[in-house]
Amino acid sequence: MRIAVIALIAAFLTANVATAQDGRQEAAQAVISAQIDAFRNNDFDRAFGYASPGIQGLFGTPENFGAMVRGGYAMVLNPKVTRFGEAVEDGTALLQRLYVEGADGAGYLLEYRMQPVGDGWRIAGVKILPAPVPSV
């Protein structure tokens, strides 16, 4: 009986951790989606607001941030397709993968580094990963 109670408690705790992680992932994905929506509307002031304090300090203004995005991450400005992939926590951040099909039709795999800030998430960096080769 005691083992059954311990097993039940362990199952309950595991379920709560999974739910918390799912909630964290969903919240991080909402921030990424909101920033992409801001890019689609050419609203770099709003898009800049989703960046972490470190990124904001690095670029200083929404205009500088927008120039960086246009120069190195044009695929997120008006993507045809976005699809979230796996997310893992590395202890200090959540790493969320996102497949993007850019306006040019090319596919990209991005890894967003999401930093907890206050009661939410901010984007602390984006890395372009080698895109998987589509199967024919």
Residue 114 has phi, psi (to 5 degrees) of -100, 125
Residue 29 has which token pair? 């994905």
Cα dihedral sign, 121-122-125-131: positive
pLDDT number for residue 91: 86
pLDDT number for residue 41: 98
pTM: 0.81
Average per-residue pLDDT for the chain:
87
Burial class (CB in 10 A: 0-12, 13-18, 19+), 84: middle
pLDDT classification of 134: cutoffs 50, 70, 90: low
Kindly list the structural domains of the chain, giving each domain's residue range(s) and its CATH number in brackets, ordered by start.
Answer: 2-129 (3.10.450.50)
What are the pLDDT digits (tens) for 47-105? 999 999 999 999 999 999 999 999 999 999 999 999 999 999 988 899 999 999 999 99
Residue 79 has which token pair? 């993507």
| Full DSSP string of 36-70 | HHHHHTT-HHHHHHTB-HHHHHHH-SHHHHHHHHH
